[in-house]
Amino acid sequence: MSASPSPSPTLPRVVVLATGGTIAGSSGDPASSAQYQAATVPVSQLVQAVPALADVARIEAEQVAQVDSKDMTFGLWQTLAARVAYWCAQPDVAGIVITHGTDTLEETAMFLHLTQPCPVPVVITAAMRPATSLSADGPLNLLDAVRVAASADARGKGVLVVLNQQIHAGRDVTKAHTSAVDAFVSPATGPLGYVQDAYIRFTRTPARRGIELLPVPSAWPAVEIVVSHAQPGRVAVDALVSAGVKGMVVAATGNGSVHETLAAALADAAGAGVAVVRSSRTGAGHVSIPSRLAPRAGAFVSAGDLNPWKARVLLLLALAADPGLGVDAGRLQALFAAS
């Protein structure tokens, strides 16, 4: 744990929980965007690199992990949730910032969105360029994230994601570019607002959702993603059923359509008690809810506007909390519709 240089004691207290990622990445070649090592720079150094933080908040920094987020694990999610819960319970903490890799940021955001009842803002930030690169985006993203975390306006808006001067809802945001600094978008909704220096403006409030918070699992059910495309086989689905998966999300074509071969395999999986949820591989839009939810070809639970990886997070948490949902498509559909 380390503190920033001499901030005013009247400033809000913001905790920075670091998990790694490119924001903590370093490279021998500042001009290269691909040749670098993620998760090498300690959080104390990330904070020290942004002296302006001392004008915004009293920062406390904690190194929760140091990983490339492509290697995210349920164990790390559990640790992170515990640290968020701990700091949320401290009466004088104004907000929490989590530094994260961009690759699975949207999944962690969804996980925290669905599990954390934090009364103060929880803001995830990241960077597309390593800390040592030319025009690194991490320092400004960190400063903006702290500004949002310290802002009373950000309270009650759920888990937020701040990058590239934009504020997104953790539920809605997704990474949509391999390398650009404006890689993060919220396809269904657009951003919640923006940050311009000290000026923070929320242009809308997050959509109201009916879903209750779900517990952080101690045991995680096996839930996998399969993809519908031209001429799929059924071997992957059959193998997953044999391996004992409890849920499958299908990254379906278009508005949730599934190739007939895959649909037949998924219908058999559903008949064997596996929860099957249809999301779309298109990247935007809502998957229509079928009028009948019997486990027949093409009539599986709709993920709504959740992309396949976000739908998987919800399915994981839902099945962990209530394994009976796997054989109750009506209740599972209601949960997704409320999410």
Residues engaged in binding ligand ASP (CB under 6 A): 20-22, 38, 68-70, 101-103, 126, 128
Shortest Å distance, C-beta 126 to ligand ASP: 5
The single residue of 22, 104, 108, 125 carrying the catalytic annotation is: 22
Q: E-strand spans in 135-270?
A: 159-163, 166-169, 174-175, 184-185, 193-196, 199-202, 223-227, 247-252
| CB-nearer residue toward ligand ASP: 19 or 116 | 19
Shortest Å distance, C-beta 217 to ligand ASP: 23
d(CA 58, CA 5): 9
Shortest Å distance, C-beta 175 to ligand ASP: 8
Burial of residue 126 (number of CB atoms within 10 Å: 0-12, 13-18, 19+): buried
| CB-nearer residue toward ligand ASP: 101 or 221 | 101
| CB-nearer residue toward ligand ASP: 20 or 193 | 20
- Angle of helix 74-88 versus helix 105-115 axis, rounded to 10: 50
d(CA 82, CA 323): 23
Shortest Å distance, C-beta 23 to ligand ASP: 6
| CB-nearer residue toward ligand ASP: 103 or 322 | 103
| CB-nearer residue toward ligand ASP: 105 or 120 | 105
Shortest Å distance, C-beta 63 to ligand ASP: 15
Shortest Å distance, C-beta 104 to ligand ASP: 6
d(CA 290, CA 300): 7
| Three-state DSSP class for residue 312 | helix
The length of the chain in residues reads 339
| CB-nearer residue toward ligand ASP: 20 or 304 | 20
Are 98 and 144 in contact by the 8 Å Cβ rule? The answer is no
Cα distances (Å, whole numbers) of residue 60 to 3, 5, 14, 47, 134? 5, 11, 6, 9, 27
The 3-state DSSP composition of the chain as helix, strand, coil percent (nearest 5) reads: 30, 20, 45
Give the DSSP letter string of 81-97. Answer: HHHHHHHHTSTTEEEEE
Q: Is 22 annotated in the active site?
A: yes
| Three-state DSSP class for residue 205 | coil
Catalytic annotation, residues: 22
